[in-house]
C-alpha cells in the first residue's frame, strides 16, 4: 500500500529536479520582434488573446519611460487597431494611424522619434482588405473636403499608377502597391531611417490584415 503512494511522489520529485533549471528561469521569449507580433496575431485570430501588459503594475512600469518594441503604421479604420490584432498591451507598440496608412512629414517625424530616440528596431507597415481610402481612389468620383487630399495623395503614387485600370483585382493590388510606396517613402524621405537600415539596426516589413479571418499575412 505504501509503495502505491510513494511511486508517484518519487516520479514527481525526479520530474521537478529535471525541470528545476528551466523553471527557475524568468519566462522570457526568444522570439524576434516580428515573431512576437505574429504570435500575438495568431492568438488574436484564434480567439485566444492573452491581453498582455495591461495590469496596474505595467502602468506603473511604463510611467518611468516607454520602450516599445515595434512601430506599426496602419490605417485609421476602426476594425484594425494594432494593439488588439497583435495582442499587445501598453507600452508595446508605437503606432501611427492615418486613413490608408499614408505618411507625410508629420508621420515620418513620429517614426523617426521612435527609431532614433526609442531605438525601435522594426517598422511594420500594415494595410488591410477593403481599405476605404484606397477604395475611394479606385472607385473615382469627387471626394469632399480634405478627403480629397487623401485620394489625391494615393493618385500621385507611382506604384499605384502602374496598376492597370482593368486589373480584375485592382483594389487588392492597389492596397499592396500603397504599402510598397509607403515603405520606399520612409527610406527616401528620412535619412534617419535610411542610416539605421544601413547599419542593420532597423527593418521595414509590410503586411496585410484580413478582415474576415482577423489574420495578418506578411508581404514581400
Distance CA 171, CA 109 (A): 29
Binding string, residues 129-158; x marks residues near Zn ion by CB under 5 A:
--x---------------------------
Contact 177, 163 (CB under 8 A): yes
Whole-number Å distance between alpha carbons of 142 and 131: 18
Q: Which of 37, 73, 75, 103 binds Zn ion (CB under 5 A)?
A: 75
| Closer of 75 and 138 to Zn ion (Cβ) | 75
Q: What is the DSSP string of 160-217?
A: HHTS-TT-TTHHHHHHHHHHHHHHHHHHHH-HHHHHHHHTTS-EEEEEEE-TTT--EE
Contacts of 187 (CB under 8 A, 6+ apart): 193, 194, 197, 204
CB of 132 to Zn ion, least distance (A): 5
Min. distance of Cβ 67 from Zn ion in angstroms?
A: 29
How far apart CA 162 and CA 158 sit, in angstroms, is 6
Question: What is the smallest separation between the CB atom of 183 and Zn ion, expressed in angstroms?
Answer: 17
Smallest gap, in angstroms, from Cβ of residue 198 to Zn ion?
31
- Stretch of 50-58, 126-134, 135-143, 155-163 contacting Zn ion, by CB under 5 A: 126-134
Rounded distance between C-alpha atoms, residue 57 and residue 21, angstroms: 27
Contact 219, 179 (CB under 8 A): yes
Q: Which is nearer to Zn ion, 95 or 131 (CB)?
A: 131
Among 41, 44, 77, 108, contact with Zn ion (rule: CB under 5 A) = 77
Contact flag: residue 103 with Zn ion (CB under 5 A): no
Q: Which is nearer to Zn ion, 77 or 112 (CB)?
A: 77
Please identify, using beta-carbon distances, which residue of 77 and 87 lies nearer to Zn ion. 77
Q: Does 176 bind Zn ion (CB under 5 A)?
A: no
Toward Zn ion, which CB reaches closer, 66 or 215?
Answer: 215
Give the Cα separation of 116 and 86 in Å (integer).
Answer: 23
Shortest spacing between CB 99 and Zn ion, in angstroms = 6
Q: Please give the residue ranges that form the binding site for Zn ion (CB under 5 A).
A: 75, 77, 131
Amino acid at each position: 500500500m505504501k509503495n502505491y503512494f510513494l511511486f508517484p511522489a518519487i516520479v514527481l520529485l525526479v520530474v521537478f529536479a529535471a525541470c528545476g533549471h528551466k523553471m527557475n528561469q524568468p519566462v522570457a521569449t526568444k522570439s524576434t520582434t516580428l515573431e512576437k507580433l505574429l504570435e500575438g496575431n495568431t492568438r488574436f485570430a484564434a480567439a485566444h488573446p492573452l491581453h498582455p501588459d495591461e495590469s496596474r503594475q505595467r502602468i506603473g512600469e511604463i510611467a518611468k519611460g516607454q520602450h516599445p518594441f515595434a512601430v506599426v503604421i496602419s490605417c485609421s479604420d476602426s476594425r484594425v487597431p494594432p494593439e488588439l490584432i497583435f495582442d499587445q498591451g501598453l507600452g508595446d507598440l508605437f503606432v501611427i494611424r492615418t486613413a490608408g496608412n499614408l505618411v507625410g512629414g508629420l508621420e515620418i517625424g513620429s517614426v523617426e522619434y521612435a527609431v532614433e530616440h526609442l531605438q525601435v528596431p522594426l517598422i511594420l507597415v500594415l494595410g488591410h482588405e477593403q481599405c476605404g481610402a484606397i477604395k475611394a481612389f479606385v472607385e473615382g468620383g469627387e471626394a469632399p473636403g480634405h478627403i480629397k487630399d487623401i485620394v489625391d495623395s494615393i493618385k500621385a503614387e507611382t506604384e499605384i499608377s502602374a496598376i492597370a485600370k482593368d486589373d480584375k483585382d485592382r483594389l487588392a493590388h492597389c492596397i499592396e502597391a500603397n504599402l510598397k510606396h509607403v515603405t520606399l517613402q520612409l527610406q527616401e524621405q528620412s535619412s534617419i531611417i535610411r542610416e539605421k537600415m544601413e547599419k542593420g539596426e532597423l527593418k521595414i516589413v509590410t503586411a496585410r490584415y484580413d478582415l474576415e479571418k482577423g489574420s495578418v499575412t506578411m508581404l514581400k
